[in-house]
A and B are shown apart, each in its own frame.
Chain A
Amino acid sequence: MGFRTYLIRRIVYALIVLFVILTFNFAVFRLMPGDAEKMIIDPRFSPEARMALRKQFGLDDPPLVQYWKYITSLLRFDLGQSFATRRPVASELAERLPNTIVLFLTAFTLTMVIGTAVGVYAAQHRGTFAETFVTGAGLFTYAVPTFFFQLLLLMLFGYYIRIFPIHGTMSAPPPDGAFLRFLDRVHHLILPAGSNVIIGFGSWALYTRNTMLEALGQDYIITARAKGLPRREILYHHALRSVLPPIVTLIFLSLPGMVTGAVITETIFSWHGVGRYLMDAVLQQDYPAAQGAFYLIALAVIISNFMADLVYGLVDPRIRVGAGERR
């Protein structure tokens, strides 16, 4: 099976998941307590006005027609109007998306870079403090609930030692000057992003270290060593090269988890982003808003899953060949 066939398979699969999520979205939000009619239409309206409104909102259409309209409008990112603010959900989300992306990318990049570096270092220095540190950090971050750790950091650095802001993406009003404004943003970013990095880098480092150690035990490494190549060269040219594919793959595989983790991080740090928007909407029973935010998050997860599959297939040809039997 060539890469193209593999690619097509993955695309079809991603579309199926998208379809399932759209259907879920449609079904659940229609079954939610308090339907659209009660939200929009006042009981004091005359029957004629009510009929006209029902027609306008398409509530009298048969379910299948409603479903079709729903799917097509969602694919066009027409997400309806928020009950709470009476603004289009799409523009509210567009306002928040950049904030989420900034937080997510910062946390993600730092986790990856620091985790991999620490892991390689630990594999190189076996039996030292570095190794104990990595094993301990891996175990610690596995057991500690992220939100608890974030609450602790918030209390420590936001309330006890007041060195970081306790909520928001920027000061209100923002300071003058582009550079100061940038610094202000970074200041707000440190706790939410940093907590994710601390929680995340341990398992990365541990994984990198383990795959490195496995690679260092391979025959070709022994050969390289026997040839008298310097340690550094063996490490970076031979060993690291062979462990990069699984690490890169795992990076992409961990994307969905980090996307969904944004909901809690943003709630704790009152980050003006998509995840907190979802939470607020759910708690306020603002269904169009919740639906839109969920759709966006689900889309992000589907895309990152697809990218993981893609990278997986690119770096490891065996996956492509065995794709039919793998699952």
Chain B
Amino acid sequence: MNGETVAGQAAVQPAPRRKRSGIADFWAQYRRRPYGLVGLVMLAMYIAVALAAPLLTPYDPRKTEFFLADRLAAPIWARFIIPRFRNAPPTSRYTIHPDQWKVERQERASLSFEEAGDRGETAVIRFEPSVEGGGGARSELSWKVHYGFNPPNTFEGKVTYRVEAPPDGMTRLSLVIVDPEGKEYDIWGTAVYGEQDWTTAALDSRDLQMKTRLNMTIFDDPAKVIFSTKGDYRLVLKASSESPSAEAKLFLAPAKFNILGILHGLLGADHMGADLWAQLVYGARISLIIGISAAVIGVALGTTIGIISGFLGGPVDEFLMRVADVFLSVPTLPVLIILSAFLGKNMWNIVLLVAAFSWMGSSRVVRSQTLSLKERAFVEAAKAAGASDAYIMVVHILPNVLPLVVANMVLMMPVAILYEASLSFLGLGDPRIPTWGRMLQNARAFGAFTELAWWWLVPPGLAITLLSLSFTFIGNTVNEVLNPRYRERS
């Protein structure tokens, strides 16, 4: 990966001398460097987005919120720039409350409203007992909705009902859409024998059941056919009852009717109709957590190994540096691929693996600094005073190598983020969390290319790029300030 070259260059630099400076001093020098400031501003924006994620989007991608819109829905703003989306529908969701039903027709039936415990207000249709010689009771309720866009791909609905009837009663229930020209589409129906407790029937224009009912083939789209004109549509609920022995009652809880949008949100929707903007925003959290923790662990490891190696010297040094050599000679990405497949798709596995393969650079820098530090008078003095090796390493060496390590750590963050993104992109990421790498993988695997959905591809890639760039700017600036002898090559 690209980051390795830079870390490698830093590693072969001669041991820089530490410049003593307080925080204020450091900032006074840092603020004079424009790249460093740009990096800080960019990072601050990422952190702000990560923290404010729940405020920036109503959706939570960690939950399974699918079919908020049609699959591969385009962003809302696509209607202004892409001709084929000019009059495409956004998602419309309707809840039809019982009192919104308008009575169209009633034969030996009556409509009233009733509280039904936790269901809230329900509409109740009472059917009189049927009489000898085919005198059933019927009722038709309608609800009007205006549709003013190009045909949608999908609509769906939910009807929640309960039937109270004698065992010999039969209640029929069906839903019909009447288009502005008066054409009727019988989209759903059911028959209930006797009694039935609360039931929710889901209807979906993608279901074969509805297509057969409408005499369509599996390749037809009911939504496109039904909503092909603009104007006022009516959803008609037809209920009828044949109940010889006693009166029958049909209870209706609020019903739902949704037209899934071909346009959705700021960035559209993925193949499951999930919100892409939410995934992007929450991805900032994950990337920052992964980048920072992998870098902190990796650098802590590298510092420990570097100090021990440099301070103790001899066979310990030889051994540790050989180990570092071997780690450097191993093809990192293939090893990460195999190990993450082996350890399981878990975010913290990726963090630990990336850390385990990125400590070598900092351990070399720290080691060479330790080598020069241990010849200094203050270390000699501590030794003469009887301080233990461990004490000297922690109290005298560690504070003096920290400035070197800070820059190294910041520079390692983009490397860790890139590794995580690559692994997720290759399908080895944690399936439970939304990451930018996974967004890219989904985009590739589930049709962003054939649909030319660049709004699915560009934002996560750009987010990774700019975050890496901001860490690189900050890391290089910190290095310039704290370690003035480090000459940045680019």
Q: Which residues of A contact B (CB under 8 A)?
A: 13, 16-17, 20-21, 24, 28, 31-33, 135, 138-139, 141-149, 151-152, 154-155, 158-160, 166, 199, 203, 206-207, 210, 253-254, 256-257, 259-261, 263-264, 267-268, 278-279, 282-283, 285, 290, 294, 297-298, 301-302, 305, 327
CB of B246 closer than 8 Å to a CB of A: no
User: Which segment of B47-55, B112-120, B451-459 sits at the interface?
Assistant: B451-459
B489 pairs with A260, CB closer than 8 A? no
Task: Point out the residues of chain B lying under 8 angstroms from A207, CB to CB.
Answer: 489
Q: Which residues of B contact A (CB under 8 A)?
A: 1-6, 8, 321-322, 325-326, 329-335, 337-339, 341-342, 414, 418, 421-422, 425-428, 440, 443-444, 448-450, 452, 454, 457-458, 460-461, 464-466, 468-469, 472, 489-490
Closest partner residue, chain B, to A309 (CB atom): B329
Task: Point out the residues of chain B lying under 8 angstroms from A253, CB to CB.
Answer: 8
Most buried by A among B338, B448, B458: B338
B6 pairs with A158, CB closer than 8 A? no
A143 pairs with B469, CB closer than 8 A? yes
B333 pairs with A260, CB closer than 8 A? yes
CA–CA, A257 and B6, complex, Å: 13
CA–CA, A59 and B78, complex, Å: 60
Minimum CB–CB distance from B280 to chain A (whole Å) comes to: 14
B329 pairs with A301, CB closer than 8 A? yes
CA–CA, A20 and B257, complex, Å: 62
Task: Point out the residues of chain B lying under 8 angstroms from A146, CB to CB.
Answer: 1-2
- Residue from the list A148, A154, A166 in contact with B464, Cβ < 8 A: A148
- Residue from the list A145, A152, A278, A279 in contact with B421, Cβ < 8 A: A145
With A17-B329, A139-B490, A283-B427 as contacts: A203 and B2 at CB distance below 8 Å? yes
With A148-B461, A159-B449 as contacts: A297 and B331 at CB distance below 8 Å? yes
- Residue from the list B3, B342, B421, B425 in contact with A28, Cβ < 8 A: B342
- Residue from the list A145, A154, A278 in contact with B461, Cβ < 8 A: A145
Closest partner residue, chain B, to A291 (CB atom): B338
Nearest 5 pairs of A and B residues by beta carbon: A148-B461, A143-B469, A301-B331, A260-B333, A260-B331
CA–CA, A285 and B325, complex, Å: 30
19 additional A-B pairs beyond A13-B325, A31-B342, beta carbons within 8 Å, are A17-B326, A28-B338, A138-B490, A141-B2, A143-B466, A144-B465, A145-B418, A145-B464, A151-B443, A151-B461, A159-B450, A203-B2, A206-B490, A260-B332, A264-B333, A267-B426, A268-B444, A290-B341, A298-B331
CA–CA, A143 and B469, complex, Å: 5
Closest partner residue, chain B, to A149 (CB atom): B461
Q: Interface SS of chain A: helix, strand, loop or mixed? A: helix
A148 pairs with B440, CB closer than 8 A? yes
With A151-B461, A206-B489, A282-B341 as contacts: A20 and B333 at CB distance below 8 Å? no
CA–CA, A199 and B427, complex, Å: 23
A203 pairs with B5, CB closer than 8 A? yes
CA–CA, A257 and B333, complex, Å: 9
Total residue contacts A-B, CB cutoff 8 A: 137
Task: Point out the residues of chain A lying under 8 angstroms from B457, CB to CB.
Answer: 151-152, 155
Minimum CB–CB distance from A158 to chain B (whole Å) comes to: 7
- Residue from the list B5, B422, B458, B469 in contact with A264, Cβ < 8 A: B422
Minimum CB–CB distance from B465 to chain A (whole Å) comes to: 5
- Residue from the list A199, A267, A301 in contact with B330, Cβ < 8 A: A301
- Residue from the list A144, A154, A294, A305 in contact with B338, Cβ < 8 A: A294
CA–CA, A24 and B490, complex, Å: 37
A155 pairs with B342, CB closer than 8 A? no
With A141-B2, A145-B464, A297-B331 as contacts: A155 and B422 at CB distance below 8 Å? no
Task: Point out the residues of chain B lying under 8 angstroms from A267, CB to CB.
Answer: 426
CA–CA, A243 and B414, complex, Å: 30
12 A-B pairs within 8 Å (CB atoms) are namely A139-B490, A145-B465, A146-B2, A151-B443, A151-B444, A151-B457, A203-B2, A259-B331, A267-B426, A279-B426, A294-B335, A327-B325
CA–CA, A31 and B2, complex, Å: 32
CA–CA, A307 and B70, complex, Å: 54
Closest partner residue, chain A, to B461 (CB atom): A148
CA–CA, A208 and B378, complex, Å: 42
Minimum CB–CB distance from A71 to chain B (whole Å) comes to: 17
B326 pairs with A20, CB closer than 8 A? yes
Task: Point out the residues of chain A lying under 8 angstroms from B458, CB to CB.
Answer: 152
- Residue from the list A31, A155, A279 in contact with B452, Cβ < 8 A: A155
CA–CA, A256 and B426, complex, Å: 19
B490 pairs with A155, CB closer than 8 A? no
B489 pairs with A210, CB closer than 8 A? yes
Most buried by B among A32, A147, A253: A147
Minimum CB–CB distance from A1 to chain B (whole Å) comes to: 17
CA–CA, A151 and B421, complex, Å: 13
A160 pairs with B461, CB closer than 8 A? no
CA–CA, A33 and B343, complex, Å: 9
With A145-B421, A301-B330 as contacts: A160 and B4 at CB distance below 8 Å? no
A17 pairs with B330, CB closer than 8 A? yes
CA–CA, A313 and B325, complex, Å: 17
CA–CA, A305 and B330, complex, Å: 10
- Residue from the list A159, A279, A327 in contact with B321, Cβ < 8 A: A327
CA–CA, A261 and B2, complex, Å: 10
A145 pairs with B427, CB closer than 8 A? no
Task: Point out the residues of chain A lying under 8 angstroms from B472, CB to CB.
Answer: 142-143
- Residue from the list B337, B418, B425, B469 in contact with A278, Cβ < 8 A: B337
CA–CA, A143 and B475, complex, Å: 13
CA–CA, A126 and B464, complex, Å: 32
Task: Point out the residues of chain A lying under 8 angstroms from B454, CB to CB.
Answer: 155
